[in-house]
């Protein structure tokens, strides 16, 4: 019985194991994070601490997020 359960468990692991490069959602998430995180860090570093123009800051962040999304979603086009 133990041997049978172990075989079933091994089969499940093989069947349900994700191969990140073949899963489009995983590829998208990895690419999106690799684009958006550095862009947002760069914005935060370059932002003056006494920034008064919040609208401009929001537009810059939105632009970077949109660009990261577009660059990451090539498989879905």
Q: What is the pLDDT of residue 5?
A: 61
pLDDT of residue 32: 94
- Give pLDDT, residue 13: 52
pTM (predicted TM-score): 0.61
For the chain, the structural domain boundaries read: 20-76
pLDDT, tens digit (0-9, with 9 covering 90-100), for 7-53: 555 555 555 445 556 788 888 899 999 999 999 999 888 776 665 67
CB 35 within 8 A of CB 63: no
Tell me the C-alpha to C-alpha distance, in Å, between residue 35 and each of 14, 22, 50, 62. Answer: 31, 20, 26, 13
Residue 54: its pLDDT value, please? 81
């Amino acid at each position: 019985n133990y041997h049978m359960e172990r075989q079933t468990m091994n089969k499940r692991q093989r069947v349900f194991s994700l191969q990140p490069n073949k899963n489009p959602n995983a590829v998208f998430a990895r690419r999106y994070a690799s684009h958006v995180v550095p862009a947002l860090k760069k914005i935060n570093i370059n932002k003056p601490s006494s920034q008064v123009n919040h609208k401009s800051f929001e537009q810059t962040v939105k632009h970077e997020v949109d660009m990261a999304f577009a660059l990451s979603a090539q498989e879905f086009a």
